[in-house]
Every structure is written in C-alpha cells, then in structure tokens.
Chain A
Amino acid sequence: MTHALRQGADEPLGAGQSRPMTGNEAIARGVWEAGARVAAAYPGTPSTEILESLAAYPAADIHAQWSTNEKTAMDVAIGASFAGARAFTAMKHVGMNVAADALMSFSYIGVNGGLVVAVCDDPGIHSSQNEQDSRIYARFAQVPVLEPSDGQEALEFTRTAFDLSEEYDCPVFVRSTTRLSHTRSAVTLGARQTPAARVFEDNPRKNVMIPAHARMRHGHVLAREARLREALSDSPLNRVEPGDARVGIITSGIPYTYVKECLPDVSVLKLGVTWPLPDRLIREFCEGVERVIVVEELEPLIEDALKAMGIACDGKAFFPREGEFSPEIVHDGLAKAGLMPARVHAAPFEFAPMVRPPVLCAGCPHVACFMALGALDARVAGDIGCYTLAVVEPLKSMDTCVSMGSSIANAIGMAKAGTETRPIVATIGDSTFLHSGIPPLIDAIYNDADITVFILDNHITAMTGGQDHPGTGRTLRGDPAPRVDFFALVKALGVRWVQKVDSYDTASMQRQLREAVAHKGVSVVISDRPCVLDPVRIKGPAMAVDQDSCIACQACMNLGCPAITWAEGWHEGRHKVKIDPEACIGCSLCAQLCASHSIKPADIAEQV
C-alpha cells in the first residue's frame, strides 16, 4: 500500500469534491488543508496511515517523515513550530507514553506555528498492548482534545485544531480510535490555506524551560485552560441536538453514532472537545433535561467531571469501562438505563466458530530464530513486533513482552536478579531496536550484564504493514537514505561478541546462538533476512512433500508455517502433511527439519 501511495503523489484533489475517505485519510487531508509544513511520526496501528497518506501530498507543500520514535517525532514537530511552521505529529495511544515528556513541557511553552497531535486509541485492543484512554493525557497536559465522529469531522476538526492551537498558544490533540481511523465515509474536501508567515521568535522566557521560566508559564497554562473552557461553551465544535427532554445524553466521537443509531430522537449534547469541558454549555443542557446519561468509551472522563461539577448523571453504571463500544453494547446500556427495550437474541446458529489466530507468514524469517531459542531452552525477554507471535503454539518461545524496547533492559534485570539458571536472551526487531533498544544495550554493556541480545533484522517495520526506518535505506517518500549498519553500530557501542546469522540456516543459527550464550557478558546475534511480505513480496519455488516417505512425525508442523497442513493420507494413525504451493515461498526450513528427507523442491519432487 505504501508503494501505491508514493506513486500517487500527483495533484491533490480539488476543493468541493466529495469522496469516501478513512478517518486517517481525512485527518491527513485536514493537515494539508491547514497549510502544515512539517509532519513526523513513528508508525503504530491504527495511526500509521495518516503519515502514509500525507506522503501522497506534494513534497513542496509538506515535509513528511518517519521518525525513530514518537518522542523524536514530537520533538521534530515542536522544532518546526518554534521555527514558525504549522507542524503535526501522529501516534498510537501508547506512543503518547513515549512522547509525553516533550509534550508536558511544550504545553507550558506553547506554540509559534500551530502544532497538532493526532493520537489514535485502540479500544478493544485490536492490535496493541493495552487500551489506555488518551483523553486523560490531554487533561494531564492541560491541552484541548478534539474528538471527531466521522470522516468529515476528522478533516474539519483537524483543520480547526491548528487555528485553536495558534489562538490559544498550545498544542492541540485530535483523538481518533481504531473504528474512526479505519472507517470510510463521504468527505467533502476544502482548499489548502496559507497561514500567516512566521519566523523563530526570540523569547527565552517562553521557549527555555528553566525553573524560573516554567513557574511563570504554569500560571499561563491554567489561565489558558480557563479561557478555553469558557470559549468552548459557544464553539460550534460542541453542539446540542434538542429532542425528547426526558433524558439528555452527553457523548462524543464514535459512541455518538451508536447513540443516534439507537435513539435518534433523544436530546444529545455532542461534545467535539472532551477537554477542557464547556462548563456553561453542560449546565444549560443538563438543566433542560430530566435525567443525564453519559455515553463514553473507556474512561469516565466526562462523567467524573460532571460529578465534580455537582451534576447528577449516570455513565459507567450502564456502560462498560473496558473494550470497544458497538451499537449492541450501547443498546444494552441504554436498555439497562430503561431508555429502550432490551435486545432480542434470535440466534438460530449456536456453534462455536473455528479458531483462526494470526500466524507468522509462510517463510517468515523470524520462525527459525524462535525454533533455535526453543531448542536452547532459553529464558526469552521478548519485545513488540510480528515476532511476538512466537509466544503462542507452536513456537512458544517467548516469556515476556512489556512495551516497545523493554526486552533488553528486562533481560538485564533478570540476569542481575541472579535467580535464572537458563541462558537469558532478549529478542528485538530492527525497527524496535532503533526505536528504543540502543540505550538499554548501552546499559547492558556498561553494567556488564550476562545476556544475549538477538536483533531480528527483517529490514522493515513489518507489524504495522511495512514502513521504512533508518535501517532500510529509504525514507517515508521512498527516497534513498543512509542505512544504519547494525553490526558496526553494536561494535561501536562496545559489544565484543557479535555475529550475523542467516535466518534460513537452522543449523548455523543454533550453533551461533549456543556460542553466543556461552560468551560471558553481552553478546549480540543479528539475524539477517528480509520480511517476505514487505517491501516486496518474496516468492521462491515451492517445496513439496513426498507422500510415500513422510512418516507423519509432525516435526515440520512445529514451524507453524501456514503453507503446511495435513494431507489426506495417514501414517500410523497420524496425518501425513502437504504443502500448498501457492503459499510456500521455498524458505526450506521444513526440509531442514524433516528427518526422513521427504521435503524437496516441488520441481525436483515431480521428476523423481
């Protein structure tokens, strides 16, 4: 997909046109229409496509880049804002944890060129390690957070966010969720604005956060929040939809669409800004209805604020605090609140569906790495990426996974605890290593930890759909870039035992790992084979199983390769196996494991 986007860098569609866009594409369009000049991000589902979409706009309009991590991306955007340009960064919810340090101080400093942060939450944990609610970060940093409900609002709110940012001298959040980011709806486009030209403002008392300045700025932040709170009561971002006055529902974002689906005639206060809350508007709305219900996904941010204001309301008493909402869940909550009849469950089909968990691709270079770790009986501190799938059957060779970049330091701690009898190995993907693996590796060397670090270099950020990074030699726009040499980098940090291994050679992989763990101190093994899916799909000649000699030992099945399944035939009560020639990429791992030599390249197998 990234490829198509890069090629599509022709004239952006003109104003007035209407087309279906995902929430992410609409946010990108909003950034471009607002006249932003710099955008930086680190990929993370469901936010990734925002920067990929921005890369389809002319390079002369906007510089768009992948950064090494979210804090770096945030700091790049902050730098651009200092320099007077409108700037943008996007991240998934947990990316905000990484970027928060810069954000918290920058909230005190405020902007020169407007700065907007798109943060995409993942209620329901479709593809994340938790489901934290980013609106709480906005409250914490005392900056406004805008919550669009569909594609059109995603575009318009993003554009408005830049104006708010400059008017109130603060960074502004646009909060999306997986559902909004990945839903297509009709969006009418606007024209690109040319914001007033600004240059760097020499003002150390505002721009340099030493204690004396920061103390002063904190007061500004509080005053700014009070001004916003007041102004937002009259802003079109928040709107009352009058209706049946027996109940008033306060909601925002995607849950608003579920409320309208269930109760189209009820009185609604639709909050486009969920922090700071428009006190005056809320009081007026609540006085006009007999009963107040708050419908919000994840944390009771609005509900708690209402209760602090002394307004009686219900929210989490009826709606869950965890998981993604759906029209069904909102219906159930409204039914519990007595506002509509309960759903009738008329399901004639009462069978449990087949399980189909995600798996590593056929020929994935991570497979042999984890086969080898399993054979080594190592204690494996894992990290986040495609390779985290090694935690489940059949590889089952990862013991921990916390957050991006945690593996190496987790391994240091395990080693220093002195309780472990097995060799300790940290596994970390190339993109994750560049994101946050280098400081902990330095830590390991500095503190002489007896660990092995296994860098799984598949030459791409695979998990999020194949994004470039400083180790791929290409930028977001596909231009050539210098390429990080992991071997030289690790050497330069002071690691004395470093080896590269071929992910498709199980024997040497096992030997190298055995030597690595035998080495006292920090050793580093770097696996080196490209992902078979991105940036180009790899497809070699397929392997085939000789049905006469296969003894159904199932050794090859232990790879979990999706190209290998059971054949019709049996051997001693177990199914022999077969290989799907369309799916097999010919990595040969299964052939290396087969003790009866039944797996050969399909063309050879045919001749025999």
Chain B
Amino acid sequence: MDKRNRTTNVLIVGVGGQGVIMVSKVLAQLCQEAGHDVKQSEVHGMAKRGGGVFSHVRFGAKVWSPTIPEGEVDILVALEWAEGLRWIRHLKPETGTFIADCQKIVPPFACRSRKRGAEPAYAPQTPEEIIDQVHAGYVMDATGLAANLGNARAANTVLLGALSTALDFPEEAWAQVIAATVPPKSVQINARAFAEGRAWALGGTKRIDVTASGLQKSRAEVHHPQVETVVEITADWCKGCDICVKSCPERCLRLNDQLKAELALPDLCTGCQLCSWLCPDMAISVTNTPVQEAAS
C-alpha cells in the first residue's frame, strides 16, 4: 500500500470487559495531541456477552481506512492470550511487535466435550513457539503485576507501559493522558502500573514472564480408559416419578407410554451414574466396563 503516507497501525484485542477500548482511547488521544491524524475503529456488537473485542488505532499524516489491512499491524496488543493468537496473522511479518498478557480467559464453550480424558479446547500454543516467530515479542503477566499493585483491573495500563516502549511518544505525555482517562481515585495505581509495564518491556526485545508457564502444555499424563456403559432399568420397580428424566445432564432418559423410564438416547449417555444414584426406588443400575482400546 502507499509508502509515502506511512501510517502506524496498532491493533488492540481482548475479551469484553477487559478494557480494550480504554487502551485504544488513550492511544488515540495521545496521537491526536501529538498532532497526528488518527482513526480508531472498533466493533463491539456482542462484546459485553463475553465475545472477542478488537480495536484498530491508526495514525500518521493522513489516515484513510479506519481498519488495518491484514499483515500491516505494527504492534499487536493482546489483553488475553488466545485473543492475541487469533489476530497474530495480522502482524507485519518482518517488523511487527507482539505484546500479550499471559492471562487465560477460558470460555465455557471450551469445556463442552463429554469424552473421557477431554481437555479444554483452549489455544495449545506455547509462548516460546509464538515469540520465536515474531520480530519483537513480550508475553508478560500484566494481570499478575497489576494484582500485586492492588488492582488486577489495571492490567491494561501495565500493557500500555509495555506499548509505550514501542512508540515514539514522551513518557510524560503517556502519563498525562492516562491520568486524564482513568477514574480519579485510581490515578496513582495506574501510574505505577504504567511504570512497571514499561520497565519490564525495556528488559529486551523478546521476553517471556516465568509465570506465563501457566500457558505451557501441562497436560497431565492421566490415562482415562474408554468405557462401555450399560444402563439397566427395572421396569417393575420404576413408578414413573420422572426424577431421573429431569436430572440426567444429557437428557437421554424419558418416560414411555407406560410411564416407565427408558434410555431414549443411549449415544448421549456419558455413564455419569446420576440417574442410578437419584432413583428413589433403585430401579436404575449403570455399569461402566473399560474396553480394550484399538491402537490408533
């Protein structure tokens, strides 16, 4: 794209409620005060419902498009690890800087599997794998740093501190805009959070906080044999009270025409045994027999 009109592109991403918009507003204000043309664009349709949030900040002599073309992001700031990975393709391959908080926000959707041995479907990539492939990268424990200062919510200001090392604005200018943006009673803590983030990022062009090991593949080597489940219902003892039908987490039981419980959807049964424990007449028995696993 146009080379003469060099625009600086910063993409800020995270999850609803984390303060993505606060970070981008601070940056946009700073850019405007420094005399740049600036555009800041966000889509927050479903943001507060736990979905991803992203905000594009572009500044330079004249900014046209409000959004950053793919592969043109100079600095990617991620308030949450997996969200950073979602957008990392957008980073400029040779010169981009990646700044991420190592904190994990696992969505309930990642814990849906009912298979034995299933792990959360959270991003499996390790910080090392990612940092290796970027020009400059920081995986920091911004939330931890902020919590130590007394308010985990100042994590976004810690990240602003790290971001400040990658841009050419004077430190005092950042301090002023942050002080003017945050609530009056948290000005001090945010000033400290900014300083900590900045000092940490000045420690090198590629840095990973040791606490980011929470992101390592810690897959415990627990073996969970597959089982075959048999649910037996003694129709004579069942009095049709409906308790098992209502409490089965998978809704695989139902009452038949004779008002007797039956396993209507055996494929969904996980063998959790709730029905057998809850049946007041002990009409249900659930047995889980380990099966020989095919070597696959």
**A residues bordering B, Cβ < 8 Å?**
19-20, 45-46, 126-127, 150, 178-180, 182-186, 254, 257-258, 260-262, 264, 326-328, 331, 343, 345-349, 351, 353-361, 374-375, 386, 389, 393-394, 465, 510, 533, 551-555, 557-558, 560-562, 564-566, 568, 570, 572-575, 577, 595
Contact = CB atoms under 8 A, between A and B. Distances in A.
Nearest to B16: A358
Given A356-B82, A358-B46, A574 B109 contact: no
A355 B251 CA distance: 25
A20 B29 contact: yes
Contact of B274 (A389, A551, A568): A551
A356 B123 CA distance: 11
Highest count of chain A CB atoms <10 Å: which of B2, B48, B106, B222: B48
A348 B274 CA distance: 48
A326 B118 contact: no
Highest count of chain A CB atoms <10 Å: which of B25, B52, B107, B274: B107
B6 interface: no
A394 B44 CA distance: 23
* Nearest 5 pairs of A and B residues by beta carbon: A127-B45, A573-B116, A573-B224, A358-B49, A358-B46
User: Which secondary structure dominates where chain A touches chain B?
Assistant: loop
Highest count of chain A CB atoms <10 Å: which of B67, B88, B93: B67
A244 to B, nearest CB: 14
A129 to B, nearest CB: 12
Given A179-B41, A353-B86, A393-B112, A562 B107 contact: yes
A241 B257 CA distance: 77
Given A326-B69, A574-B116, A20 B43 contact: no
Interface string B49-70: 1111000000000011111111
Nearest to B5: A264
Given A183-B40, A361-B50, A560-B108, 16 more contacts: A126-B46, A183-B66, A261-B64, A262-B1, A353-B123, A356-B52, A359-B50, A359-B107, A361-B48, A555-B249, A561-B108, A565-B111, A565-B120, A572-B271, A572-B288, A573-B224
B292 interface: no
B239 interface: no
Given A257-B65, A328-B69, A562-B50, A554 B123 contact: no
Interface string B70-94: 1100000000001101101100010
Interface residues of B, number: 75
Contact of B108 (A127, A353, A359): A359
Interface of B: 1-2, 5, 15, 25, 28-29, 32, 37-46, 48-52, 63-71, 82-83, 85-86, 88-89, 93, 106-112, 114, 116-123, 125, 130, 133, 220, 222, 224-225, 227, 246-247, 249, 251, 270-274, 277-278, 288
B48 to A, nearest CB: 6
A565 B108 contact: yes
A357 B51 contact: yes
Contacts of A186: 32, 37-38
Contacts of B37: 185-186
Nearest to B57: A184
A555 B275 CA distance: 12
B50 A327 contact: no
A345 B89 CA distance: 10
Nearest to B86: A353
Highest count of chain A CB atoms <10 Å: which of B42, B49, B121, B224: B49
B51 A565 contact: no
A184 B28 contact: yes
A553 B29 CA distance: 50
Given A254-B66, A553-B274, A375 B246 contact: yes
A178 B51 CA distance: 17
Nearest to B110: A354
Contacts of A327: 1, 65, 67-69
A260 B58 CA distance: 15
